[in-house]
Amino acid sequence: MSIKACTKCNLITTEERCPVCDIPTSTNWSGLLIIIDPERSDIARELNINIPGEYALRVR
């Protein structure tokens, strides 16, 4: 069970498919961004993230 990231929304998950986008995830990711409050975060707004959670900065 490796940690994977969605290639579309960059959400970090352990699933084979992203629980949000339902597309295959990738083990090749780097950087970590934890969004706690997407409403108030400038970073979340910049990256169009609306769901709290862990995200990768770069996924291949």
Spatial distance between the Cα atoms of 24 and 4, rounded to a whole number of angstroms? 9
User: Whose Cβ is closer to another protein: residue 16's or residue 37's?
Assistant: 37
Residue written as tokens 């900065």? 57
The answer to whether residue 34 forms part of the interface with another protein (CB under 8 A) is yes
The answer to whether residue 21 forms part of the interface with another protein (CB under 8 A) is no
User: Whose Cβ is closer to another protein: residue 22's or residue 28's?
Assistant: 28
User: Whose Cβ is closer to another protein: residue 22's or residue 60's?
Assistant: 60
C-beta separation of 51 from 33 below 8 A: no
Q: Which two tokens stand for residue 27?
A: 């083990």
